[in-house]
Amino acid sequence: MGLRKTIFGRSKQKQEAIFEFNANNPLCYSPGNNYFTDLATGIVSTIYGGTYYQDKGLRFDGIDDYSRGLGYYFYDYKNSMTIEIYFKMPTIGNGYREILSYQSNNFGSTGFRIQRNGNLLQFTVGAKADYSTSIRLTADTYYFISFTITAFTETNCLLKLYLNGIYQREFIITMQFPNGLDRFLLANSQNNRYCDLIMRYARVTYNKSFSASEILNNYNTVISQF
């Protein structure tokens, strides 16, 4: 399936997953392949470096491994999104390292990155604002992290954080949805800050901020697959 366009202000928009990776689903990934198939779109995403299958997940070495695939054009700022990732980090050092990023060619204030700064989990908007969570990551421990984003205006959004299906906290953030040719990256960003990471699952759903009960249900459903 190719790129889609979503137009601002149309009332009949439907929720849809726009990116979905599942390392334990053979329709998505087969161990040894240097690519995976996005379960949401059918787009093939290339895996770069010496990435391999480990512990029912895709292992990125933190040196030069990452995956990149195309996303969508976005035009609707009055929208919402849910991001879910299931991962662990075999090692945790100093500095910034990217877990999942969604960025446009017109980087600026668009797009987002889920990253660690040392062992602190952060949600970063564009190249400017870091929103630190209260979650301190521990090496070799699996986490299921969910973020929901609800846009109030073109730039103001409510961001909610969930850990293992349970609500943690929320932020008011300034964020524009990407407006250029976008791409999803696992274990990297366009800043080339590679992450030592085992990624089991990642999904981004457009035009839907899941409720707390839906977040918990999704968590239980995904966990049961591994």
Output the domain CATH number for residue 74.
Answer: 2.60.120.200
In-domain check, residue 22: yes
Report yes or no on 114 lying in a domain. no
When divided into structural domains, the chain yields a total of: 1
Sorted by sequence, the CB contacts under 8 Å of residue 50 that are 6+ apart come out as 61, 64, 65
State the residue range of the domain holding 67: 14-92+139-175+192-223
Nearest to 179 by CA among 92, 88, 107, 131: 107
| pLDDT tens, position by position, 25-80 | 999 999 989 999 999 888 888 899 878 899 999 999 999 999 987 655 554 545 78
**Would you say residue 3 lies in a domain?**
no
Q: pLDDT band at residue 157, thresholds of 50, 70 and 90?
A: confident
Q: What is the pLDDT of residues 88-127, one digit of tens each?
A: 999 999 999 999 988 665 544 557 889 999 999 999 876 6
Residue 97 lies in a domain: no
- Residue 31 in any domain: the answer is yes
pLDDT-derived band of residue 81, with 50, 70 and 90 as boundaries? confident
The maximal CA–CA distance of the chain, rounded, in angstroms, is 46
Instruction: Report in angstroms the alpha-carbon separations of 159 from 52, 82, 118, 156, 175.
Output: 33, 10, 22, 10, 10
Q: Given this model, what pLDDT does residue 78 score?
A: 52
